[in-house]
Amino acid sequence: MYQLIRKLLFLFDAESVHYFAMNTFKLGCRIGFIRKMLTASFKPVSANPATLFGLHFPNRIGLAAGFDKNALFLSELEVMGFGYVEIGTVTPLPQAGNDKPRLFRLPKDKALINRMGFNNDGVKVVAARLKKWKEQHASSPLIIGGNIGKNKVTPNEDAWKDYEICFRELYDVVDYFVVNVSSPNTPGLRALQEKDSLHKILSHLQTINHQLTPSGAEAKPLLLKIAPDLTVEQIDDVVDLALEIQLDGLVAANTTISRDNLQTPASTLEAIGAGGLSGKPLLTRSTEVVRYICEKTGGKIPVIGSGGIFTGEDAAAKAAAGAVMVQIWTGFIYEGPAIVKKISSKWKA
Ligand X SMILES: Cc1cc2nc3c(=O)[nH]c(=O)nc-3n(C[C@H](O)[C@H](O)[C@H](O)COP(=O)(O)O)c2cc1C
Annotated binding site for substrate: 69, 114-118, 180, 185, 254-255
Closest CB 275 distance from ligand X, rounded Å = 9
Closest CB 32 distance from ligand X, rounded Å = 32
Comparing CB distances to ligand X, the nearer of 110 and 220 is 110
Query: Which of 35-43, 126-134, 263-271, 301-309 is the region at the interface with ligand X (rule: CB under 6 A)?
Result: 301-309
Query: Per CB under 6 A, does 80 bind ligand X?
Result: no
How many residues touch ligand X under the rule CB under 6 A: the total is: 28
Query: Per CB under 6 A, does 311 bind ligand X?
Result: no
CA distance 163 to 109: 34
CA distance 181 to 301: 18
Closest CB 152 distance from ligand X, rounded Å = 13
Type of residue numbered 99: D
Query: Per CB under 6 A, does 277 bind ligand X?
Result: no
Query: Which position among 62, 117, 122, 331 is part of the footprint of ligand X (CB under 6 A)?
Result: 331
Query: Which position among 44, 58, 305, 307 is part of the footprint of ligand X (CB under 6 A)?
Result: 307
Closest CA relative to residue 279, chosen from 250, 311, 303, 301: 311
- Look at residue 226 and give its three-state secondary structure: strand
Q: Which of residues 107-166 bind ligand X (CB under 6 A)?
A: 112, 114, 116, 118, 147
Comparing CB distances to ligand X, the nearer of 64 and 165 is 64
Query: Per CB under 6 A, does 180 bind ligand X?
Result: yes
Query: Per CB under 6 A, does 317 bind ligand X?
Result: no
- Whether the bond between 207 and the residue before it is cis, its omega within 30 degrees of 0, is no
Query: Per CB under 6 A, does 282 bind ligand X?
Result: yes
Closest CA relative to residue 208, chosen from 249, 179, 238, 236: 179
Query: Which of 2-10, 27-35, 166-174, 329-337 is the region at the interface with ligand X (rule: CB under 6 A)?
Result: 329-337
Query: Which position among 57, 84, 133, 329 is part of the footprint of ligand X (CB under 6 A)?
Result: 329
Closest CA relative to residue 223, chosen from 125, 324, 303, 140: 303
Query: Which position among 29, 52, 61, 65 is part of the footprint of ligand X (CB under 6 A)?
Result: 65
Query: Which of 45-53, 75-83, 165-173, 324-332 is the region at the interface with ligand X (rule: CB under 6 A)?
Result: 324-332
Query: Per CB under 6 A, does 306 bind ligand X?
Result: yes
- Look at residue 113 and give its three-state secondary structure: strand
Are 304 and 252 contacting, i.e. CB atoms less than 8 angstroms apart? yes
Query: Which position among 48, 95, 254, 344 is part of the footprint of ligand X (CB under 6 A)?
Result: 254
Q: Where are any strands of DSSP class E within the chain?
A: 50-52, 55-57, 61-63, 84-90, 103-106, 111-114, 143-148, 176-180, 222-226, 249-252, 276-279, 303-306, 325-328
Degrees, nearest 5: CA angle 103-106-122: 20
Q: Is 140 a catalytic residue?
A: no
Closest CA relative to residue 301, chosen from 236, 212, 256: 236
CA dihedral 151, 157, 158, 162 (to 10 degrees): 50
Closest CB 237 distance from ligand X, rounded Å = 20
Q: How many CB atoms lie within 10 A of CB 168?
A: 16
Active-site amino acid positions: 183
Please report, as ranges, the residues that interact with ligand X according to CB under 6 A: 64-66, 69, 88-89, 103, 112, 114, 116, 118, 147, 180, 183, 225, 254-255, 278-279, 282, 306-309, 328-331
